[in-house]
Structure 1
C-alpha cells in the first residue's frame, strides 16, 4: 500500500504547487482556464491516443464491464435524478455533477493501484475504455451543448465528433484495429505532448483552489455531498454486488472491479467543465473530497477482499 499512498502523495504535491502558483499570481488570473483548455484540447487527446494504441476493445465485453459500467451508470443516473429532476437544474450543471459522482481516476491513480494492489495493470482496462468511449462523449455532448443565447440541437448531437478528447480516442482505436505500427518519429512528439496532460490538469486544479471557499459550503453543498456519497460509498458497493451476484465474479476478479470503482473522481471532470465554460465549483470540491476519502475506502476494500 505504500506505493499507492505514494501515488496519492505525488498528485497532492503537484496540486499544492498549483495552489502556490495561484497564490503568488505568477501566471495571472486566467491561467487556470488556459491550462485547462491546453489539457483538454491538446495534451489529454494525445495521452488517450497513446493509451488506446495498445488497448484491447474486447475488454468492453468482459464480465467485469457489468460491474464497472453498471455501477458508474447507476451512480450517474442517481445523481441526475436526485439533483437534476427534483430541482430543475440546467443540463450542463447536472452533467458535471453526474460525471463527478461516477467518473473514476482510472488514468492517474487506476494504473498504480491496479499494479500494487491487484498485481495486474490490465484490470483497469474495462473501466478506462468504458469511460473514454461512452461516458466522456455523452457527458461532453451535454457540456458542449446549447448555452444561453446561442447553439442548436445539431450542435448538441455533433458535439462528440467535434471534441478533441473523443477524436484522440477514436484515432487511437483506429490505429490499434489496423495493426499499424507507427514509427518513433511520429510517436515521439505525441508522447511529449501527452506528458503535459496530467501536470497541466493538476496545476490548473491547484490554482483553482486558491481563494476558493471551504469545500462543500454555500448553495452547492447538497450537490457536492450527494456526489461524494455516490462516488465514495455507493459505486464500490454497487460494483461488488453486480460483480458477485450478476457477473458471477469472485476472488481477484471481484476485488478488481470493487477497487477500480472505489477510485476517487478524476480531475478530468474539472477540466471538462472548465474547458467548456461551465461552473466548476461542484467538480472541484468533489474531486478534492473523494481523493481524501477514497484512501481509507481503498485500504478497507483491499483488506476485506484481498
Structure 2
C-alpha cells in the first residue's frame, strides 16, 4: 500500500507537469521501489533480526512491480508499431519477469535443478549485484552536484517521497489499518524506509530514459535513508 501511494503521488504530480511516460515510470519506481536485496537483507538481519522479512517485498517487486514498469517502458518506446498480440505478451517476454517466475516455480514444486544447468545461472546471479553497483558508481563520475538542471523537480520529489513519505505512509497504514504494534510495525516501517534500489538505474540506462533522474534520485535517497532509518529505529525500536 505504501508502494502504491508513493508511486501514485509521483505520477499525479508528473501528469500535472506534463512529464513523459519514461520519466513518470522511472520516477514512480525511484519513489517507491526499495533496495530489498543488497541493503535490505543485511539491514533486516542487523536491525530486525530476520532476513526473511524482506522476502515478500523482494517477490512483490520482482514479480509484480518490475514486470508492470518494464512493460510500460517497452510499450512507450518510439519503435515501429507492434501487433496487439506482441503488446499483450510483452510482460511474458521480459527476462526479469521470466527469471522471477521461474524461481518461484522451482521453489513451489520442490524440483532440484541439475548442477550443470544451475552452475552458470549461479555464476550470473553472483555477479549481478556487483555489476549493478559498478555500473551505478561509474555513472556518478563527472555527474556533478545532484538535483540540478531541468530534472531537478522530479529528482527532489522522488527522493523525498522515497525517504520520508513512503515510511510515514507505511507507519500510518500499519498502525491505523492493520493495527500492527512494536516489532511488526518496526518491520514494516524499516523496510519502507530503505532507499531506492540501484537496479532502477539499470532499467533507465537499458531503455535510455530518465537516466539522470534514476541516478541522482537513488543517490539522494541512499544518503537520506541513513537518518531516516536511525529515526525509525529510535522512535519504534
Shorter-chain TM-score bucket reads over 0.9
Residue aligning to 1:136? 66
**Partners in 1 of 2:79 and 2:201 — Cα distance?**
24
Q: Once the 2 structures are TM-superposed, how far is the Cα of residue 183 of structure 1 from its aligned partner? A: 3.5
Q: Once the 2 structures are TM-superposed, how far is the Cα of residue 149 of structure 1 from its aligned partner? A: 4.8
Residue aligning to 2:55? 125
| Equivalent residue for 1:193, pick from 110, 113, 124 | 124
**Partners in 2 of 1:182 and 1:104 — Cα distance?**
30
Cα shift readout 1:250-279 (whole Å, capped 9, x = no counterpart):
121110010000000001111111112223
Whether the 8 Å contact between 2:163 and 2:195 is mirrored in structure 1 is yes
Q: Over the residues paired in the alignment, what is the CA RMSD in angstroms? A: 1.4
**Partners in 2 of 1:113 and 1:190 — Cα distance?**
26
1:210-289 to 2 correspondences below 5 Å: 210-289=141-220
Cα shift readout 1:5-37 (whole Å, capped 9, x = no counterpart):
xxxxxxxxxxxxxxxxxxxxxxxxxxxxxxxxx
SS at the partner of 1:101? helix
Residue aligning to 1:209? 140
Whether the 8 Å contact between 1:146 and 1:152 is mirrored in structure 2 is no
SS at the partner of 2:17? coil
Residue aligning to 2:31? 101
**Partners in 2 of 1:151 and 1:291 — Cα distance?**
38
Q: Once the 2 structures are TM-superposed, how far is the Cα of residue 156 of structure 1 from its aligned partner? A: 4.0
Structure 1 gap ranges (5+): 1-69
**Partners in 2 of 1:156 and 1:264 — Cα distance?**
32
After TM superposition, the score normalised by the length of structure 1 is 0.74
Decide whether aligned partners of structure 1 residues 87 and 150 sit closer, same or farther in structure 2, where only a CA change above 3 A counts: farther
Residue aligning to 1:50? none
Whether the 8 Å contact between 2:21 and 2:76 is mirrored in structure 1 is no
Decide whether aligned partners of structure 1 residues 220 and 305 sit closer, same or farther in structure 2, where only a CA change above 3 A counts: same
| Equivalent residue for 2:45, pick from 107, 115, 120 | 115
Q: Once the 2 structures are TM-superposed, how far is the Cα of residue 291 of structure 1 from its aligned partner? A: 0.6
Residue aligning to 1:294? 225
Structure 2 gap ranges (5+): none
After TM superposition, the score normalised by the length of structure 2 is 0.95
**Partners in 1 of 2:160 and 2:62 — Cα distance?**
23
Q: Once the 2 structures are TM-superposed, how far is the Cα of residue 148 of structure 1 from its aligned partner? A: 2.6
Q: Which moved more, 1:147-156 or 1:266-275?
A: 147-156
SS at the partner of 1:263? coil
Whether the 8 Å contact between 1:105 and 1:264 is mirrored in structure 2 is yes
Q: Once the 2 structures are TM-superposed, how far is the Cα of residue 81 of structure 1 from its aligned partner? A: 0.4
